[in-house]
Structure 1
Amino acid sequence: MSTIVAGDQAPPSGSGPTGRATWHRRVGMLPLAYLVALVAVALTHPVLPAWRWLGMHLLLLGVATNAIVIWSAHFTSAVLRCPPPASRHGDGIRLTVLNLGVAGVLASGVVDQPWIGVVGAGMVFAAVAAHLVWLVARLRAALPARFAVTVHHYLAATGALLVGIPVGAWMLVVDDVSRSRLLLFHAHVNLLGWVTLTVLGTLLTLWPTVLRTRMADGAATAARRGLPVAVAGLTAVSTGVLAWWPLLAVGGLALTATAVLLTAVPAAQAARRKTPASFPSWSITAAAGWLVVALGVDAWTLLSASDPAVAADRFSAVLVPFLIGFVGQVILGALAYLLPVALGGGPALVRERTERLDRHWPQRVATTNAALAVFVLAVPPYVRITTSLLLLAALLQFLVPAVHVLLASRRQP
């Protein structure tokens, strides 16, 4: 049984204006630019207002949302075997509107002008809605495809974000007794919906490709079974935190963990066949572990809180393993594999780029996860500062070669 190779199944045209390689040379810098901004925030945070909020939204709204919109379109075309587009004009408009909106949301937190953020959120909503329409159109036009369940994950994830964006915009201008519940709702819908559903759908084909092995038998079936479980879990969690029924919310988290397990079983079978031995494979593996940790911490936080305000105050304990451990590592791992392949240029160039992004990978993965494990514990402030610097150093070890690879590809004929 063969699997779809993320880069190789798309049409090999890279020289024309709509070619895959040309397109990824143009848009590949977007997530990396937000990572650079995140590094800048980390280095200057003592003088920045609301730096935690800014850093969180740089990662989720800047890095993750751009990466998801770009690569979910790529995977949709691959799994549905869509013909190459005649024009990337619509894609470019969507990404332009998206990033103008992201800039507005981020600026509102810096200059404390909520209505700038509301306008920005509206632009993000419009871009994501257009992305949803694009996904639906591709799915309807395609012939039946074995891995169409990946696109179904993307549809559910995009729908979740379209629910979460208005709530976030509302919180920018309204501060009342419902804020704690809205914050918990907004965070869970975006993290468990937009990010987690996308990752679960993408790993169906990406994971065996990263390992360079065949897909485990039953992987597609597991994904089809896991999607309704994950959606049911998301619905229960979001309803539970909004109505403040903690037991319902925790039951939803249990369903989410079940969906993750359904996906993880065939992934583990593929890993037994071909042991992970690269930065992408180990970064994604570590991310999966931190997702389980984050779900467990989330359940404890909700069960132990006496009211929504206490749960919202404690939610930072969930954000660290979720944002850094899961979201950060899965994005870096995926980009480390996808960028060298999607930029084209032939096998030799792909190997060269991959080796550059893999350099010192055992040290980088070990440093990141050991530092994060210490950071989440109750340790003195100076230990947290040290571990934060180690995490920042590991990020730079990815970011510097990734930017170099992208800039070098732009100089190719």
Structure 2
Amino acid sequence: MNRPQTPLPTVPPGHGGRPRGRSPFGLAAPSILFALAYLLALLVWLAAGEVLPGGRWFAVHLFTLGVLTNLVLTFSEHFGRTVTRTTGERSAWWPLVTNTGVLGVLIGLPGGHRWLLVAGATVVTTSVFLAYRRIRAMRRAAVGARFGWIARIYERAHGAFIHGAVLGALLGSGVLAGSWYGGARIAHLHANVLGWGGLTLLATLVFFGPTMARTRIEPGADARAARWLRRGATGLSVAVLVLLATGLPGSAGASARVVAAAALGVYAVGATIVCVPVARAVAAAPHRTAAQPLVLGVVGLFPVVVAADVVVVAAGAWRWLDALGIAVLTGVLAQAILATLVYLAPMLRGRTTAARDRLIARLEVGARTRAGLVLAGVLACTLGAARLGDGLPLAAAGWTLLAVVSLVTLLTALWPVPHPDDA
């Protein structure tokens, strides 16, 4: 990317206690706090899930609806305004509205309250649709913006969520059942995981991945990403539609799988074209940051997992789909969230430049070890979900490892930063 990237702010010697200005991410704080609350709830569920209602469905939606949706909504709008250079922010009460709907879904289905499920899904979907309208208005108002294509991909991601939410509501309410249930569930998962989460992440990685490593992406990579992410988003839309027909018997279902796999192959190529130059830039960065090894893990795993998904869909080997879903949720999306938390925590919590610098130094301690443990936990969870070896103990060990690393990272980022006079 040719546009100069903003370096971390510095302060002249002797002014380390100078108060810092308002963080550019300050308005994202409410959504981040909601996401952290759901993340803590997810850690509790992982520790005591057998005695809690909802089963695996509840854990997945704690992450996708509670954590992921809060963060995607706030950061896609923030970065959408950044790349289109438009002013304004969404109203402060939108996170409250969105999370009222999220709670309705999370309580409605496990509790058997279909009216609450439908109401909650309607509120969340409406919130996402209005966010889509705001981002679309930004892009149209920013005539000639070099990176307006990023806002366009955010729009496509929001559209994927709406499609996935409609499918999810139809599945949860029992409208889609019988032979249609399996294909609709697979389409729902792809729309939400690869569309809502994946497209947003890929568009953001082009510029924010290198920024978290304090470097720049190579020239021309943004133009290639723009072309292939548009194609990948279209491929995913086709795949979601065709996946609905994979439950049909005989040659019709087999043909649908082949077409869906081909469409997902376009998405996989787009993901690879985005991730490879980001990986090269981040690996070659002259400075070592706390987020750097986590970003490398994200861009290393994403192309591998989506390529494997193409094979699974083409072969109809659905028993592997849960394992791939775990790999995407933990190794790609959750790891990207951890990297973002590590990068943003000093900006959000450092009241002074000195406090920010102390928090940066604290997070850099053991950063590579934490990233390595994340990858080990992802591998164990994925193999356990695939039922390779003794699956249950392996998966339990993986989830425990991921929970411990996440908790340690949260404590490291959120623990109060002492004033120099208190040290």
TM beyond 0.5:
yes
In the alignment, the residues of structure 2 paired with residue 132 and residue 2 of structure 1 have an alpha-carbon distance, to the nearest angstrom, of: 26
Are the equivalent residues in 1 in contact too, given 2:68–2:197 (CA < 8 A)?
Answer: yes
The alignment status of 1:356 with 2:356, answered yes or no, reads no
1:331-361 superposed Cα distances (whole Å, 9 cap, x missing partner): 1112211332355634333322323333321
- 1:53 paired to 2:57: yes
* Contact 1:371 1:388 (C-alpha < 8 Å) held by counterparts: yes
For residues 204-254 of structure 1, the C-alpha deviation after alignment (integer angstroms, 9 at most, x for no partner) is 210221121233101221221122221122023213311221111111221
Task: Report whether the alignment pairs 1:124 with 2:129.
Answer: no
**1:21–1:171 Cα change, 3 Å:** closer
Q: What displacement does 1:293 show?
A: 3.2
* Aligned counterpart, 1:62: 66
Structure 1 position 272, deviation (Å): 5.1
Q: Deviations over 1:281-331 (max 9, x none)?
A: 2112212232233223323332333xxxx73x5421221111111111111
Letter of the 1:50 partner, please give it.
G
Residue equivalent to 1:74: 78
Distance 1:145 1:297 in 2: 35
1:75: Cα distance to partner? 1.1
Over 3 Å counting, the alpha-carbon distance change for 1:359 and 1:94 in structure 2 is: same
Instruction: Write the letter of the residue equivalent to 2:282.
Output: A
User: How big is each residue's C-alpha offset from its partner over 1:133-160, in whole Å with a ceiling of 9 and x where there is no partner?
Assistant: 1112222223422222211111111111
Corresponding residue for residue 232 of structure 2:
230
Instruction: Indicate whether 1:96 and 2:96 are aligned.
Output: yes
1:181 pairs with 2:187: no
Q: Counterpart in 1 of 2:302?
A: 291
Verify the 8 A CA contact 1:94 1:131 in the aligned structure 2: no
Structure 2 CA distance for partners of 1:104 and 1:146, relative to 1, 3 Å: same
Distance 1:3 1:194, change over 3 A: farther
Determine the C-alpha separation between the residues in 2 that align with 1:212 and 1:402. 19
SS for the counterpart of 1:75 is: helix
2:272 counterpart residue number: 261
- TM-aligned CA deviation for residue 362 of structure 1: 1.6
Gaps of 5+ in 2: 10-18, 247-255
Q: 1:240 — aligned with what?
A: 242
2:113 alignment partner AA: Q
The normalised TM-score by structure 1 is 0.87
Alpha-carbon separation, structure 1, partners of 2:99 and 2:358: 31
Check the 8 A contact 1:284/1:333 in 2, yes or no. Answer: yes
Aligned: 1:252 with 2:252: no
User: 2:168 matched to which residue of 1?
Assistant: 168
Q: Is the 2:160–2:237 contact (alpha carbons within 8 Å) kept by the matching residues of 1? A: no
1:127 positional shift:
0.5
Name the residue aligned to 1:271: 282
Q: Aligned equivalents of 1:408 and 1:66: distance in 2?
A: 30
The aligned runs of 1:392-411 (5 Å cut-off) are: 392-404=403-415
Deviation at 1:364, TM superposition (A): 1.1
Distance in 2 between residues matched to 1:53 and 1:247, nearest whole Å: 28
| Alpha-carbon distance between aligned partners in 1 of 2:7 and 2:111, rounded to the nearest angstrom | 41
Would you say the 8 A contact 1:35–1:399 is kept in 2? no
Once the two structures are superposed, what CA deviation does each residue of 1:33-52 show, in whole Å capped at 9, x if it has no partner? 11101111111101123321
Q: Is the 8 A contact 1:79 1:145 kept in 2?
A: yes
Describe the SS at the equivalent of 1:110: coil
State the match for 2:250 in structure 1. none
2: CA distance, partners of 1:5 / 1:200:
20
Aligned to 1:383: 394
Q: What is the count of residue pairs matched by the alignment?
A: 393
* Whole-angstrom CA distance in 2 between matches of 1:367 and 1:283: 11
Could you say what secondary structure the match of 2:92 adopts? helix
> Which residue of structure 1 aligns with residue 330 of structure 2?
324
RMSD: 2.6
TM-score (norm 2): 0.85
- SS of the equivalent of 2:216 reads coil
In the alignment, what sits opposite 1:144?
144
Counterpart of 1:202 in structure 2 is 204
Letter of the 1:82 partner, please give it: T
Matched, 1:281 2:292: yes
Structure 2 residue identity aligned to 1:233: G
- For structure 1, which segment, 269-278 or 154-163, has the greater mean C-alpha deviation from structure 2 after superposition? 269-278
- Paired AA for residue 293 in structure 1: V
CA distance in 2: counterparts of 1:135 and 1:147, whole angstroms = 13
The change in CA–CA distance for 1:344 and 1:383 in structure 2 (over 3 A counts) is closer
In the alignment, structure 1 segments of 5+ residues that lack a partner are none
